[in-house]
Structure 1
Amino acid sequence: MNNKYTKDLVLLGALIIGCSILARYMARGETLAEYDKAKAESSIEATVLASDQASANVSKEAASSYVTSTIESVASASSEASTDDVSASESASISASYASTISDASTDTSNSEIIAVYDRVNYMDGFYHESLTQDVIDRITGISYVENDNISLDDLRYCSLLYNDFDGNTQTGEMICNKKIAQDVIEIFAELYSSGYQIESIKLIDEFGGDDTASMLANNTSCFNYRVVDGTTRLSNHAYGLAIDLNPFYNPYITYNKDGTTNVSPEGSLPYADRSANFPYKIDENDLAYRLFKEHGFKWGGDWNSVKDYQHFERPN
C-alpha cells in the first residue's frame, strides 16, 4: 500500500480514537448504554414525583370534600331533629369558609384539626359557640367545673359574643352554657347587642373564683357554675349550664322570712328590690331581654312566688 495512504489511515484512526476518548470524558465516564439507562430512570422518578403530588392534591380535596359534605349532612338532618339537637338555623349558620380553609391547609391536616374547624358555629360577626378547648377547660377546672356525675365537659359549649357596656362601648364577652341552649344564647345576645341593650359585664364566673356573690356584686352576667342553690343542697340550673343571670346587681335575688322581712342579694342592691320604682337596667315584662328569653322558651325568676330572682332566666332541665 502506498505509504501516503497508510499514513492517512493511521491519522484517521487516531482522530477517531481521540474523539471517542474526549466524548467519554465529557460524559463523565458514561457509555451510551449507561446514558440511556440513566435517562430512563430519571423519567420514571419524575413520573413518581408527579404522581405523589397528584395524590397530595387529591388528599387536600378529599379533606375539603369531607368537611363540605359533613356540613351539608348536618344541615339536612337538623331540619328533622328535635329542639335538643342541632337546630336548622344552627346548621345553616356554619360557615362554608371552613371547607376552603381545609382545602388550603397542608396535606398533613389531622382529623382533630378538621373536627375543630367544623365544630365552631358562627351566627354572625362576633357571635359563635363551640366545644370547650383545652385552654378553656384548664381555666374552669377546679373552679366552676369539678368532676361530677351530672354534667360532663362534652355537655357544655363556649360562647363568644359582643355586648354594649354601660358607657355604650362594644365589648367582647364569653359565656359557658349547656349545648342544648347554646344557639338560643347566641341569638338572644346578638339581638340585645343589635338593639343597643346595655350589659355591664359578661365574663366567666371563674374570673371571680367561682364565687356567685362576687360576680353579682360586680354586676356580671354569667351562666355555668357547678353549684347548689343558695341555702340548699339542691343543684342549681346554673350547674347544668341552663340558667343565666343578667345584670344581677340591678335585678336582685329576694327571699322572704316568716316574720315578713326580706333578704336581698347581692348586698347593696336593696334600692332595686322595689320593682314598682323606675331605674335603669330593670328587667320586667316590658324589657327586651325578658321578651327574647321568653320567646326562646326560658322561664323568668321574677315570676316565682316563694322567692323572686329578677336577674334569672332558665331553661328547665
Structure 2
Amino acid sequence: MNKKYLKDFAFLGGVIIFCAIAARILAGGETLEEYAQKNDKIPEVSAVASTDTAISSTDESSSFISSKELNITSGTVTTKDESSVIPSKASNEAASLASSQEDTQALSDDSADRFVYKDGFYYEPISNEIFKRISGISYPADCSVPLDDLRYLSLLYNDFNGDTQTGEMICNKSIAEDLLEIFCELYQNSYHIESIRLIDEYNGDDTASMLANNTSCFNYRVVEGTTRLSNHAKGLAVDLNPFYNPYITYNKDGSINISPEGSEAYADRASAFPYKIDENDLAYKLFKEHGFTWGGNWNSVKDYQHFERSN
C-alpha cells in the first residue's frame, strides 16, 4: 500500500478517535446507549403534554364556567353573579330534613294543646272559632275570667232515646280532666242526659237552657236574684238535667220558688221519677268522688241539678 494512503487513514482514524473522546466528555462520560437507558421515561413527557392539551381543550369548551369565580360555602355552589345559585345535594337534603322537622314540630304542638282522655273525650284551649261563638254571650266584654283559664270539652253521652251523641262544654281548666272522667263513666254506664250544648246556643239565658233540660257549665253570670257571681262564671259548676232537678228557694212567708217554670212536679224529692239526682244516683257518686259539692245538700236553697268545686 502506498505510504501516502497509510498516512491518510492514520490521520482519519485519529480524527475519529478524537471526536469520539470529545463527544464522551461532552455527554458526561456516558455513551449514547447509557444515556438512553438512564432516561427511559422521556416518552411520558409527551403523554403529560397530551393530557395538558386535552385539559386545555376541555377548559376552552367550558369557558362559561371558568369565566366566573366559584365560591363553595355551606354546601351551596355560588358564583359572584348572585343571580346564579346552585344548591348542592347536601343542601337540598338539609332543607328537606329541616322542613320535615318543622312539620313534625307543628303536629307535636297541635297535639300538645289537646288532652285526649279516651276516644270521644278530650279538652283543649279555647280556639278562635269557639271564642267567636261565646264572645259577647257567655263570655261578655267585661268578663274577668282569663280566657286561658277555660277549656273546651268534647264528650259523648247517651240521650233520652239511648242514642250516642257528641256534646260540648266549657269549664275551668282545673276541673277539665275530672269532667272528662265523670262523663266518660256516665256514658259507659248508659246514663241518660238529654243534651249537652254550650249555653251560648240559648243566648246565654240560663232559664232557657234549663227549660230545654240542657246540661251546661260555663256562663259568666250572677247567682239568680243576687249580684254575686255564680261559680258558673268561673267555669267551676255543672248543671245536669236541670228540668228534672230544679233550683228551689224559700221565702219568709213559707212559699217557695221553683226554677225553671214547669218543673214543679220534680220539686218533691220524695217522689220517684226518671232522671232524678239523689244520693243513690251514679252522677252524684261520681261528682262526689271528684271533690264536688252537690246543691241538693244545701240548707238555705236546694239546687238539685248543681255540682260545683272550689278553685
Post-superposition shift, 1:152?
Answer: 1.1
Tell me what 2:274 maps to.
280
Please say if 1:234 is aligned against 2:273.
no
Cα distance between partner residues in 2 of 1:119 and 1:245: 27
- Post-superposition Cα deviations, 1:250-270, rounded to whole Å, max 9, x if no partner, equal 000000111111110001100
The aligned length equals: 243
Tell me what 2:38 maps to.
none
User: How does the TM-score come out when normalised to structure 2?
Assistant: 0.72
The counterpart of 1:167, out of the listed 161, 167, 191, is 161
Please say if 1:252 is aligned against 2:252.
no
Tell me what 2:4 maps to.
none
Please say if 1:55 is aligned against 2:55.
no
Tell me what 1:207 maps to.
201
Tell me what 2:59 maps to.
33
User: How does the TM-score come out when normalised to structure 1?
Assistant: 0.71
Cα distance between partner residues in 2 of 1:34 and 1:127: 72
Cα distance between partner residues in 2 of 1:56 and 1:174: 41
SS at match of 2:191: coil
Q: Which structure is larger by alpha-carbon Rg, 1 or 2?
A: 2
Cα distance between partner residues in 2 of 1:44 and 1:133: 42
Tell me what 2:288 maps to.
294
Cα distance between partner residues in 1 of 2:226 and 2:108: 44
- Dislocated runs of 4+, deviation >6 Å: 37-41
Query: Any gaps of 5 or more consecutive residues in structure 1?
Result: 1-30, 64-101, 104-108
Cα distance between partner residues in 2 of 1:136 and 1:44: 46
Cα distance between partner residues in 2 of 1:61 and 1:148: 43
Please say if 1:192 is aligned against 2:231.
no
Alignment of 1:66-105 (within 5 A): 102-103=103-104
How big is the alpha-carbon RMSD for the aligned residues of Structure 1 and Structure 2? 2.5
Please tell me the residue identity of whatever aligns with 1:251: N
* Percent identity (aligned): 63
Cα distance between partner residues in 1 of 2:178 and 2:298: 22
| Structure 1 residues 243 and 36: alpha-carbon distance in aligned structure 2, compared to 1, 3 A threshold | same
Cα distance between partner residues in 1 of 2:143 and 2:159: 37
| Structure 1 residues 162 and 38: alpha-carbon distance in aligned structure 2, compared to 1, 3 A threshold | farther
- Post-superposition Cα deviations, 1:62-104, rounded to whole Å, max 9, x if no partner, equal 44xxxxxxxxxxxxxxxxxxxxxxxxxxxxxxxxxxxxxx43x
Tell me what 2:136 maps to.
142
| Structure 1 residues 226 and 34: alpha-carbon distance in aligned structure 2, compared to 1, 3 A threshold | farther
Please tell me the residue identity of whatever aligns with 2:253: D
SS at match of 1:180: helix
Post-superposition shift, 1:52?
Answer: 2.9
**Cα contact 2:245–2:276 (8 A) shared by 1:** yes
Query: Any gaps of 5 or more consecutive residues in structure 2?
Result: 1-56, 78-84
Cα distance between partner residues in 1 of 2:230 and 2:76: 70
